[in-house]
Chains A and B, each alone.
Chain A
Amino acid sequence: MTPSLLVPLVVGLPLFGAAITLVAGRRRKLQVSISVTTLILTLALAIVMFLIVDAGTPLAVSVAGWPLPFGIVLYVDRLAALLVAVSSLVLLAVLLFSVGQGAADGDDETPVSIFHPTYLILAAGIFDAFIAGDLFNLYVGFEMLLVASYVLITLGSTESRIRTGVVYIVVSLVSSVLFLSAVAVIYGALGTVNMAQIAERMVDLPENVQLLLHLLLLVAFGVKAAVFPLSFWLPDSYPTAPAPVTAVFAGLLTKVGVYAMIRTETQLFAESDVNTLLLVVALATMIVGVLGAVAQAELKRILSFTLVSHVGYMVFGLAIATPAAIGATVYYTVHHIVVQTTLFLAVGLIERRAGSTSILKVKGLFRAAPVLAALYLIPALNLGGLPPFSGFIGKFALFDAAAQIGTPLMYTLIVGGIVTSLLTLYALMRAWNLSFWREEDDSVETEARIQHLENAPAADEVSERRVIPRIMTAATTGMVVVSVALTVFAGPLYEICERIGSGLLEPVSLVQLIQVEEDS
């Protein structure tokens, strides 16, 4: 068996799992075991694939044996392999979390028969986007994950979810149409959708046409990555979804947009230069996002705004466009996928424990749930960029790369980045102070319980909801451990990211791609 056979399996396996879980819709335990097994297998595949690719041989497969450049090509380099591995880990952890939540809730709020197949299709879409070797396949990957996300965000179709889901769906549709138009225009201009070939032919186009195509793609990806002027949909739509859904959206969906931007910047448009624009946009994303977070009083919304603001760091790194900066961006992306997901899972636990995520209402959690306190505090400090955590390492690497360029704009960005990091820390620590450190005022809670008993005397649901299933805590703890591991093993991981950074700035040509395809 040649290693290249692994590549299509990464997408095929979750799709196959989705089909089986759909058939097994009425048997919940079978469904759970199938989807967990599928994602464990995918994780194993992804790790093997990463080890092979990191040893120096990228993998390429032309689907259905059509010769390049006519057929669809799946191309896995270090960046794709790393992101596939990290995202399958995150997807697995969130799936375990949701299994715990579903078991505790009964199936009344989340119709489980739909959740598992949709979740696996989302996974397949994410992986497909990462390993796509041509622009149209990237579009298909995006559509797969978006359609699955439409279903997940309106899960249960309650009124609030429909309301926020509509915003999310319409915005995503517009960005998809823009992306497809960009693909069409690029095909019209260059006669190909293969990324390696696009990169080769792009340099022959007049500069203003290049700029037009470049901006069209960046706007389409910018909506998905939630970059500043295009980011307003995100804090409105993410918080109402179920906790595990929000966690996986926050961790992965925006990062697929960032990944597409990385490819666009480094590979497709090596000549066309919009870095100054990107720097300004990155600064605005960081500052506006974090100011939004400071104003909020609801934990999920605070996190959604910090998510927007931290996408700014990745755009910042991308705009510096040196190998060191691209490496730092990749490291920061990996860090952010893990930490943001962990934080959303921790907030899911808080919601379950305290019955609310408003920091004005939640009190005294430190005494009531010390483990939960640790599970929130570690990723919060990490996201805030406190040394020695990975958030600090990533930001430091970005600032270092920027300082080496040393223009006034770069220094402005560095100052903006530090301010953002401190404000993030402020927003998260204020939430910590209010919901964990503040003493519980028993009278309020007692009244709430009386109220609850009056409303529904038979059910003692309040105390029931307060029990956190062990598997949810275990999944969150696992993610916290992974986020700490990003710090402990920062050395080797950062070396990988540096290799990615220097590799990305020398894009593969079509000839190399064909060579790789024949070799693997």
Chain B
Amino acid sequence: MSVSLTLVIIMGVLYAAGVYAMLERSLTRVLIGFLLLGNATNLLLLIVMGFPGTAPFAGEADYPGDEGAHSDPLPQALMLTAIVITFAVSAFLLALIYRSWQLGQADTVEDDAEDLALRTRTAEAEAALGEEIAVEAPTDFVDAVAAPLRAIDGADALGLLPDAPVNLPDDRKPEGDRE
């Protein structure tokens, strides 16, 4: 199988340019990079088809080393499928870029918010992650104290009901209730 050197060089340039453009943060350049990569791959399929110019199945080969050969139709079918897929995905990407621009007036790839949050996590949060079950109950009745009786307007409507009255030793009662 002999291949055209021109095609190979063009393919190489397209791949290189595509990868370079995809490394940018701007989404439009990423799209351009993707289009270049897609076309480079299509060219690759064209190259593996063999020497161009002969008709599929019916071709008479007059190239040295290719006696009786004909163009292989299968890569052309593969290429068409690949072109359709690239087309659909580019349309989707364009819509995505437009939406991104609409939302933030920006079309760049941004840093992940959660990653940034993790990097700046406070010591307090770290401690909370490390702690065991927070409330260690010293007695069985400790829950009774923990019930907050904050009066807020419309508390009943929210389904917040104060706990049932309990008898407590004097020192455990909330501040205002002591005799």
B63 to chain A, nearest CB (A): 17
Given contacts A166-B109, A180-B41, A439-B135, contact A463 B158 (CB under 8 A): yes
Partner of B160 from A174, A185, A446 at Cβ < 8 Å: A446
B48/A443 in contact, CB under 8 A: no
A187/B78 in contact, CB under 8 A: yes
In this assembly, does B62 line the interface, its C-beta being within 8 Å of a C-beta of chain A?
Answer: no
Given contacts A170-B30, A174-B22, A184-B45, contact A438 B134 (CB under 8 A): yes
A443/B150 in contact, CB under 8 A: yes
B159/A165 in contact, CB under 8 A: no
B 81-109 binary contact with A (CB < 8 Å = 1; else 0):
11001001100110010011001100001
- Chain A interface mostly: helix
B129/A136 in contact, CB under 8 A: no
B129/A360 in contact, CB under 8 A: yes
In this assembly, does A52 line the interface, its C-beta being within 8 Å of a C-beta of chain B?
Answer: no
B147/A297 in contact, CB under 8 A: no
Q: Which of A93-101, A152-160, A371-379, A491-499 contacts B (4 or more CB under 8 A)?
A: A152-160
Q: Which residues of A contact B96 (CB under 8 A)?
A: 154, 162, 165-166, 169
B76 to chain A, nearest CB (A): 12
A442 to chain B, nearest CB (A): 5
Partner of B114 from A154, A187, A239, A453 at Cβ < 8 Å: A239
A225 to chain B, nearest CB (A): 21
* Residues of A in contact with B, size category: 35 or more
A66 to chain B, nearest CB (A): 11
The CA-CA distance from A453 to B152 in the complex, in Å, is 12
Q: Which residues of A contact B1 (CB under 8 A)?
A: 188
A236/B45 in contact, CB under 8 A: no
A181/B34 in contact, CB under 8 A: no
Closest chain A residue, CB of each to CB of B157: A460
Interface residues of B in 39-53 (CB under 8 A from A): 41, 44-45, 47-48
Given contacts A147-B92, A162-B96, A183-B78, contact A297 B38 (CB under 8 A): no
Closest chain B residue, CB of each to CB of A187: B48
- Chain B interface mostly: helix
In this assembly, does A298 line the interface, its C-beta being within 8 Å of a C-beta of chain B?
Answer: yes
B78/A184 in contact, CB under 8 A: yes
Given contacts A143-B85, A437-B133, A446-B148, contact A463 B159 (CB under 8 A): yes
A162/B100 in contact, CB under 8 A: yes
Q: Which residues of B contact A181 (CB under 8 A)?
A: 41, 44
Q: Which residues of B contact A460 (CB under 8 A)?
A: 158
B52 to chain A, nearest CB (A): 14
Q: Which residues of A contact B150 (CB under 8 A)?
A: 443, 446
Partner of B99 from A147, A157, A183, A446 at Cβ < 8 Å: A157
B146/A439 in contact, CB under 8 A: yes
In this assembly, does B9 line the interface, its C-beta being within 8 Å of a C-beta of chain A?
Answer: no
Q: Which residues of A contact B30 (CB under 8 A)?
A: 170
A168 to chain B, nearest CB (A): 11
Interface residues of B in 19-60 (CB under 8 A from A): 22, 27, 30, 34, 37-38, 41, 44-45, 47-48
B129/A297 in contact, CB under 8 A: yes
Q: List 22 A-B contacts (CB under 8 A).
A: A136-B78, A150-B89, A151-B92, A162-B99, A166-B109, A170-B22, A174-B37, A177-B38, A183-B78, A187-B45, A187-B74, A188-B1, A191-B72, A239-B114, A298-B114, A359-B129, A434-B128, A438-B133, A446-B150, A450-B152, A453-B154, A463-B158
B interface vs A, CB < 8 Å? 1, 22, 27, 30, 34, 37-38, 41, 44-45, 47-48, 72, 74-75, 78, 81-82, 85, 88-89, 92-93, 96, 99-100, 103-104, 109-110, 112-115, 118, 121, 125, 128-129, 132-135, 146-148, 150, 152, 154, 158-160
